[in-house]
Amino acid sequence: MPIRIPDLLPAADVLRSENIFVMPESRASTQNIRPLEVILLNLMPKKIETENQILRLLSNTPLQVNIKLLRIDSRVSKNTPKAHIDSFYRDFDKIKTQNFDGLIITGAPLGQVDFEDVYYWEQIKEIIDWSCEHVTSTLFLCWAAQAALYHLYGMEKKTRDTKLSGVYQHRTLHPQNPLLRGFDDMFWAPLSRYAEFSALSIEQQSDLLVLADNQTAGTYLAASTDFRQIYITGHPEYDVDTLDQEYRRDLSEGLEPVLPENYYSDNDVTKPPVASWRSHGHLLYANWLNYCVYQQTPYDLHSLTPRSE
């Protein structure tokens, strides 16, 4: 939340130069406040686990957020009870005439599948297009980021020979950007993907700004200049044991996975994993909600303007 100070107080310029959000009294006195309306399109197989992870990060803010869960895959889930999905998830047709402050599209275990072969690819494209007119800011996570880059910018899917798995240290490239307020110069974040996200390709083939990267793993965070689309290529929402579960699952399936990097104590799989990303995960989501959603969205969602082409 912003600091509210008198319009002409000298501290305002100093604080702004330090990338601290300052709101003058003249603006604060005219600001209307209401709960934010956010949609979560959950594409992960273990939906309840993913709900818990995402909602945990969304809750770490003084803003009031109303969450609606969205589904597009009508097939019976192997990992989530049908009663849970029927009780808490909505179909896209029920909400597509409405506007929303925020949309989160999760990753999906589809890194080695061509987009056109994805069962719900046509629905994903429809929702991405819909979000450009009906959502103030959309957060694309991991596979969803790759899908949106392909659909919106024509960036061809690039797949690594080996999976990136582990916790990687990333550089903060534009510390003055609101999404990175409060970030350290270097921060850790979990990755679990085959997708290749080249910072050079993103800068050459889109109008996005790359905000954080890793020399080996490529782009971690990118955004449009108007914050209507935010791309996160990792999983700041992961629990401490999520990568461990994925590693042991792949082992049991005979896939010979690589040991997740910078994850287990002393890189010893017999020792417990260490969470080194929680604080920056919470900060990233709080910044998104505040600066890309709350500060950008109209009080009356009916007046939301489509994304400029």
| CATH code of the domain containing 73 | 3.40.50.880
37, 51, 134, 235: the catalytic one is 235
pLDDT mean over 86-101: 93
Q: Report pLDDT digits (tens) over 134-168.
A: 999 999 999 999 999 999 999 999 999 889 999 99
Domain that holds residue 224: 33-159+175-181+196-237+278-296
Confidence band, pLDDT 50/70/90 cuts, at residue 76: confident
Confirm whether 272 is domain-assigned: no
Asked if residue 146 is part of any domain, the answer here is yes
How many domains does one find in the chain?
Answer: 1
> 278: annotated binding-site residue?
no
* Known catalytic residue at 174: no
Pairwise CA distance, residues 280 & 137, whole Å = 20
Bridge partners, residue 187, by sequence: 170
pTM over 0.75: yes
What pLDDT does residue 87 have? 87
- For residue 253, being part of any structural domain is answered with no
Is position 235 annotated as part of the catalytic site?
Answer: yes
Q: For residue 28, is pLDDT > 60? A: no
Asked, for residue 306, whether it belongs to a domain, the answer is: no
Q: What is the pLDDT of residue 309?
A: 46
Please indicate whether residue 237 is annotated as part of the active site.
yes
- pLDDT for the residue 156: 93
- Over the stretch 191-222, which tens digit does the pLDDT of each residue have? 999 999 999 999 999 999 999 999 999 999 99
The structure tokens listed for 80 are 């989530």
Note whether residue 121 is domain-resident.
yes
Give the model's confidence band at 190: pLDDT under 50 very low, under 70 low, under 90 confident, else very high: very high
Concatenating the DSSP letter of every residue in 110-164 gives -TTS-GGGSTTHHHHHHHHHHHHHHEEEEEEETHHHHHHHHHHH-PPP-EEEEEE
Mean of pLDDT over the chain: 89
Quick one: 49 exposed, middle or buried, by C-beta within 10 A (0-12, 13-18, 19+)? Answer: middle
